[in-house]
Structure 1
């Protein structure tokens, strides 16, 4: 009797699961139809005969049927990791013309931006620089669709830059709740959007002023966060030197966090996509990229080709080869080689890192779905509970698979190798 009850319950769960799948599929009919065709051809959800860029993108779309889910969100939320994966989707759409990639991007804008231009869950008054990054998706969608709601939303995001609190010399605070603090993360979160918006909507002297301000943000970071001995940059700097994590003399946080450095590298190469060719700041950014690449190659693991959660302490207890930083470094170096910012000889380090990711951090399910493992879920400084920036703090943060902060850069790096 117990066995019969068990079978009935199992059948009910199977039916319920099927219903949930169907409901989800109905919300993304184009993607579902495409997936069904691909599955029927290969017997797999994600065909294994595609290149890694598409295999990972399709895997993300399978895991997160709606693009607002990409940050493991349970309901539509304006967060930055979605934009990194969608950057890959944009480039894949341009490369392949496959409409399911465009629909996936477009759905993000449709769900997150109301007709009056307001953005779900976005609060301007928090002055959180992280929340500018998804503005890149709207810049793309406005270029394609010219919807008034996207223009209104973009203008609102741009006003955040005008009001964003700054250090005495002019560096953006990371958030209003983190006074006087500059984090490496913030350069990626804000500067590509700021540069792209300026290129598309600002002209003349105002544009020059904005470009100068953008380059200054990198100048300031090089001045205040760079360790001249190693060439690495510390995660954060507190101008006031009041934070418990800040050195009382320098204001610097105590460690070189892998993804913090990763954000900074991607910020430089992505800003150069939009900074005018004749702007004097280009040469400076390219010189920073060279210094940066030399520093991270020195701490690249010689055997695996990967990078560690805390970059300069590979042998200390608890440290591990971390996926998001590794993917970001590979993307930064290979894109810099492709664009001519670095000599071709640097491709060796990028390829070693890329192969190391595929060999050590990628797993493929029986249905073809690709996973990126050993991603640091999140790390920061201060806040509640307090994050002290210690070695122990970084290596004990949650580790998970398929974080958009890793899968996105992996897609972008793959596309650079596939050029």
Structure 2
């Protein structure tokens, strides 16, 4: 598909280190020329004889020398995308024992959490569920370093859950500024943290109550956002049915956005890491993964193995094979197979998607630095300027390379294949 013909907006140059990074739909990224500590014997910044997980991780560390810079942050900011790459760094450190991965994670906590436990730029009163995701990094660091400041910050984030506004039936609003709205994204942003925190710090009846609440969030999404005909889930649901993007009868947004579904899949498989084996909701969550996977397999491109920005309209004008959703789907499927949530036969779909990413969306610079191209930079609903959830809206959002929402899941998927 010729993306130039589809008037896809390109991001301008974003300054990065001593070099410039071109973020666009198909142009090869030019990374900072600053030499990395990882210069190999071959003279390459990223050695090409490593597995894809390490090659992409080292490329991210080269592009973003400090972990707070991940996802193009210009100054230290408490946000969610960096946590996905740092989750991958945790697993790489466990696998390889290479201290540079641990240091990269540790620097994030040092930079973002003040000595009194205050979280830089975080405002609890906004009740933005996105901001719980980086709590996963602190759970890891507290386990390793036992620093009091991390515990205080974790308790602050956990208190957000207690105050987070909910729909009438009990689903978390996505943000305070989005009343009565449940977005698929929010399940990934909040539930793995909620489950992991409960496992580490809560006992007895309080823990049981929390686990029930977590499973309920998924039950509610299955009830309110699922399209029974396709098995796909809509990006969002407005209980009040007042938003311009919401269907006046159902309250649903109009399209199946790839990454929203990607977030939801990752939420399910990551929550299962911490949900007790004997919890009655566990089997139900696994059944949701099965129906979810059956639905996304039907919209996987038969030739490339990839998934589209708008999942069910592959031939529509301007639609494109999108990297972040593709990486998230691959991760969800292969992890589910590895953990026994899906039959082994499903591995073939994950492998086809993974190979498709490497063949069609990955480029490697002369210095060995790996780029993931065709990442949708951002998409949401409502706000100012107003995002209407139309097909045209999704396919015209910015496209860039090396978005953490794609590189993180790609590393995680790679690690699952390397097991």
1:278 and 1:291 map into 2 onto residues whose CA distance is 22
Equivalent positions of 1:227-242 (< 5 A) are 227-242=227-242
Aligned partners of 1:270 and 1:40: how far apart in 2? 34
CA deviation digits over 1:321-351, x for unaligned, max 9? 0000000000000000000000000000000
What is the CA–CA distance in structure 2 between the aligned matches of 1:102 and 1:265, rounded to whole Å? 27
The alignment's TM-score, normalised by the length of structure 1, stands at 0.92
CA contact (8 A) 1:83 1:133 kept: yes
Specify the alignment match of 1:208 in structure 2: 208
2:41 alignment partner, SS class? helix
Once the two structures are TM-superposed, the CA of residue 34 in structure 1 deviates from its matched residue by 11
Q: 1:346 maps to which residue?
A: 346
Moved over 3 A (4+): 33-36
Q: For residue 190 of structure 1, what is the aligned residue in structure 2?
A: 190
Distance (whole Å) between structure 1 residues aligned to residue 186 and residue 399 of structure 2: 22
> Alpha-carbon deviation of 1:39?
1.8
Bigger RCO of structures 1 and 2 (CA < 8 A, at least 6 apart) = 2
Distance 1:205 1:289 in 2: 27
CA shift, 1:35, in A, is 4.2
| 1:336 paired residue number | 336
1: CA distance, partners of 2:231 / 2:157: 33
Distance in structure 2 (CA, Å) of the matches to 1:359 and 1:56: 15
**Is the CA contact 1:129–1:190 (under 8 Å) kept in the aligned structure 2?**
yes
Instruction: Give the C-alpha shift of residue 71 in structure 1.
Output: 1.9
Q: Equivalent residue for 1:26?
A: none
Cα separation, 2, equivalents of 1:68 and 1:105: 9
Question: Counterpart in 2 of 1:283?
Answer: 283
Is the alpha carbon distance of 1:319 and 1:34 closer, same or farther for their aligned partners in structure 2, counting shifts above 3 Å? closer
Cα distance in 1, alignment partners of residues 328 and 408 from structure 2: 9
Find out whether 1:362 has 2:353 as its counterpart: no
Alignment match, 1:292 = 292
8 Å CA contact 1:127–1:176 kept in 2: the answer is yes
Determine the structure 2 residue equivalent to 1:180: 180
* 2:73 matches 1:73: yes
2:150 and 2:376 map into 1 onto residues whose CA distance is 32
The 5 A counterparts of 1:215-226 are: 215-226=215-226
CA distance in 2, matches of 1:281, 1:83: 26
1:265-284 aligned at under 5 Å gives the runs 265-284=265-284
Distance 2:18 2:175 in 1: 39
Change (3 A) 1:372 1:312: same
Match runs of 1:288-327 below 5 Å: 288-327=288-327
Partners of 1:40 and 1:198 lie apart in 2 by: 42
Counterpart Cα distance in 1 of 2:18 and 2:341: 48
CA distance in structure 2 between the aligned counterparts of 1:42 and 1:301, rounded to whole angstroms: 37
Q: Is the 8 A contact 1:47 1:55 kept in 2?
A: yes
Secondary structure in 1 matching 2:122: coil
Compute the displacement of 1:391 (Å).
0.1
Give the aligned partner of residue 103 of structure 1.
103
TM-score (norm 2): 0.92
Match of 1:50 in 2: 50
Separation (CA, whole Å) in 1 of partners of 2:185 and 2:124:
19
CA contact (8 A) 1:117 1:153 kept: yes
Deviation of 1:286 after TM superposition, in Å, equals 0.1
**Aligned pair 1:146/2:146, yes or no?**
yes
Going from structure 1 to structure 2, the CA distance change for 1:385 and 1:365 (only over 3 Å counts) comes to same
* Whole-angstrom CA distance in 1 between matches of 2:80 and 2:274: 20
CA displacement at 1:272 relative to structure 2: 0.1
CA distance in structure 1 between the partners assigned to 2:368 and 2:40 by the alignment: 13
Q: SS of 2:39's equivalent? A: helix
Shift of 1:86: 0.3
Residue in structure 1 matched with residue 26 of structure 2 by the alignment: none
Quote the residue 2:8 is aligned against. Answer: none
Contact 1:131 1:189 in 2 (8 A): yes
Against the structure 1 CA distance between its residues 40 and 358, is the aligned structure 2 distance closer, same or farther, given a 3 Å change threshold? closer
How many residue pairs match? The answer is 391
| Counterpart contact for 1:262–1:325, Cα < 8 Å | yes
Q: Distance in 1 between matches of 2:18 and 2:230?
A: 52
DSSP 3-state at the match of 1:409: helix
- Whether contact under 8 Å (1:71, 1:79) holds in the other structure is no
Q: CA deviation at 1:76?
A: 0.2
Deviations 1:297-329 (A, max 9, x none): 000000000000000000000000000000000
Q: Which has the larger radius of gyration?
A: 1
CA contact (8 A) 1:34 1:100 kept: no
Higher helix share: 1
Residue aligned with 2:371, SS: strand
Query: Which secondary structure state, in structure 1, belongs to the residue aligned with residue 348 of structure 2?
Result: helix
CA RMSD of aligned residues (A): 1.5
